[in-house]
Amino acid sequence: MKIETVKYSISGMTCDGCAKTIEEKFEGNGGILKNSVSYKDALGEFQYDSEMVTKDEIAELINSTGHYKVVNEIIENNGSGNNVYDKDNSKSKESNVNIDYDLIIIGGGSAAFAAAIKASELEKKVLMINDGLPIGGTCVNVGCVPSKTLIRTAEALHTANHPNFSGIKPGENKIDFKEVINQKRKLVEDLRQKKYVDVISDDENITVLKSRAKLVDKNTVEVNSVKKSASVILIATGSTTYIPDIPGLKETGYYINDTLYELDELPEHIIIIGGRYIALENAQLFARLGSRVTVLQRSNRIIPTEMPDVSETLTEYLLQEGIEIKTGVKIDSVSKKDEKVKVKILHGENEEIVEGSHLFVATGRKGNTENMGLEKVGIELHGKGFIKSDKFNRTNIPNIFSAGDVTGEHLFVYTAAYAGALAVENAFQSDIKEKDYSVLPWVIFTDPQLAGVGLDEEEATKAGIDYDVSKIELKDVPRALAARNTRGFIKLIRNKKNDKLIGARILASEGSELLMEISLAIKYGITTKELKSLFHPYLTLSEGIKLAAITFDKDVSKLSCCAV
C-alpha cells in the first residue's frame, strides 16, 4: 500500500449538505482511506492508496456530479500538505510545486481579453501569452473591424453612384483604393490601441508576453524556453481559414481574410471560393468598389443552412449588382499562367475554366491548435482542430478551459468574449454556470443585411413545435417606402400554442438593428399580442416588427398606416 494525501479547492457547494454529498460519492471506493469535505472552506482533503486510485481519478469523480467542480489542487509547502508516505508510514516527502499565476491565458483576442479582465476583477494574477496576430485577435485586426469599415466605404460609393431617388442624378465617383486601405489601417490601429492595449496597460494583475506557448503539463506552459505555471489554464487561440485540399492551390497562391485587406491595388477580377458569411460580404464589398467578382459555391445555394427563401432572395439582389454566382460546383484544380488565376470547376456535367486576377478562399474555419502540446496533455479535439469543451467551458482536463473560436462554437466576437468571461467565473467562483446560446442573434453584413435569431421553420419542425409564420415585404413598411429602398422582408415565427416568438429572419437595409427587440421578446416570452400593443414610432424600421406581428392575423397591405 502506498498512502498519499491530496487537497482540492472545490467550487459549487452551497451548504454542508453539498459537502456531505461529495463525501458519500466515495463510499465503497476501496482506494479512498479517508476523506473530509468542507463547505465553509470550499476544500476537500482525501487520503488514498495510490496503487488503487490516482488523484486525477478523485478529481474526475467529484466533477462527475455535475454540480461540483475541482478548481485546482492545493499545494502546501510547509510540510503539512500533499505528503507521500512510505509503506510503514515512517517517512514523509514534501511535494513542492511553485505556482506562478492563478491563470495563464494562451491567446490575445476577444475571449482572452474578456477572461483577463474578469480574472483581474476577481483579484487573480494573470499571464496572457499571445502569438500570431497582434493583440486583439481576428476581430479588430483582420475580421470585423476592417471588413465592416470597408463595407461602409463600398456602400457609400455605391449609393452615390446609384441613388434611390429620381431627383438625384447617378454619379461617376471614383475611389482612391490606397487611401481606402490606409484609412482602414488607421482605424484598426486606433481601436487596437484604445480598446485592447490601453485597457490592460495599467492593470497590475495582468502580464502580457508576445511569444508562442506550449503546454508541458496540465499546470505548466513553456514560453521563450522558460516554464510558467498556473492553477488554471485557458486556451483562447482562435481560428483561421480552413484551406481545402485542391490541386495547385498552394502553388498558385491565394488570399484569406488575414491578407485580403492589405492589398495595395483593387483586384480586377476576384474569384471567391465559398458562399457563406465571409465570402458574401467580401463579394459585394469588392464588387461595389469596382472589381469583377465570381463566387464559386459547392452547395446548391449560398448560405445553405438558411431556408430557401432567404438564400434565393439574397442571391437575386447580389446578381442584380453584377456579381456572378455559380452554385453546385466542384473545384477540380487551380493554376496560374501569365499572372492570371485559373480555376477549373465541374459544374453539373460541364467542365469550365474561371479566370481572374485574384483568388480569395473563404471555406470555413479551423481551430488554432497545432504545435501547442495539446496531445501531450491529452486534450480532446473535434472537427477541424477545434477543442472539445463541456457546458462549463472545461476541456476534458478539469483545470484547463477553452473559449472563443478555438472551440468551434458560434464563431462571433461577442460569443467569444462571453465565453472567456464565463470560463473564468466557472474556474474561480463557486457558483458555476452553464453557457447559454439559446437566444443568439447573428448578422451577415451584405446589403440588404441578413439577420437572424432563434429557430427557422425547419428547426421548429425538428423541435416538434406547432408554429406559424408571418412575413412582411419591405414594400409594406412605410420607412422603406420613404427611403426608396424596399428590398427584403421581415419574417417572424411563433409558437401557435402560446403566441410567443421563437425565431426571426430579416433581410433589410440595417435589418440587424431590429434583432434586439426580437431577441428580448424570445428570451422573456413576450407574445406577439404584446408586441403589437407597444408603441413603435412611425417611419422607423422597427415599426416593421409591429407590422409583421399584425400580419399573423391580418393583411397589412390592405390596412391604413394607422393600423393597430
pLDDT tens for 153-190 read 999 999 999 999 999 999 889 999 999 999 999 999 99
Task: Tell me which residue of 468, 130, 426, 138 sits closest to 277, measured CA to CA.
Answer: 138
Angle between helix axes 177-192 and 144-161 (nearest 10 degrees) is 140
Q: What is the pLDDT of residue 493?
A: 98
At residue 10's C-alpha, the angle toward residues 5 and 16, to 5°, is 100
How far apart CA 409 and CA 415 sit, in angstroms, is 9
Task: Tell me which residue of 386, 383, 377 sits closest to 419, measured CA to CA.
Answer: 386
Whole-prediction pTM value?
A: 0.83
How far apart CA 498 and CA 413 sit, in angstroms, is 33
Q: What is the pLDDT of residue 82?
A: 30
How far apart CA 416 and CA 62 sit, in angstroms, is 28
Q: What is the pLDDT of residue 489?
A: 98
Q: What is the pLDDT of residue 185?
A: 97
The x, y and z cell numbers of residue 109, run together, are: 483576442
Q: What is the pLDDT of residue 25?
A: 87
Q: What is the pLDDT of residue 81?
A: 31
Complete DSSP assignment for 147-185: HHHHHHHHHHHHHHHS-SSTTS--------HHHHHHHHH
In contact, 366 and 392? CB cutoff 8 Å: no
Q: What is the pLDDT of residue 349?
A: 85
Low-confidence spans in the chain with pLDDT less than 70: 75-98, 562-564
Helices (runs of H) and strands (runs of E) counted in the chain:
18, 29
Residue with cell 456531505: 20
Task: Tell me which residue of 304, 302, 282, 303 sits closest to 293, measured CA to CA.
Answer: 282
Q: What is the pLDDT of residue 75?
A: 67
Q: What is the pLDDT of residue 373?
A: 96
Residue with cell 415599426: 543
Query: What pLDDT, in 10s, does the model give residues 62-110?
Result: 988 777 888 878 765 433 333 222 223 322 333 335 689 999 999 999 9
Q: What is the pLDDT of residue 563?
A: 63
Q: Which helix (H) or strand (E) holds 269?
A: strand 269-273
How far apart CA 80 and CA 519 sit, in angstroms, is 54
How far apart CA 474 and CA 532 sit, in angstroms, is 18
Please tell me what DSSP assigns to residue 406.
Answer: G
Q: What is the pLDDT of residue 88?
A: 33
Q: What is the pLDDT of residue 69?
A: 84
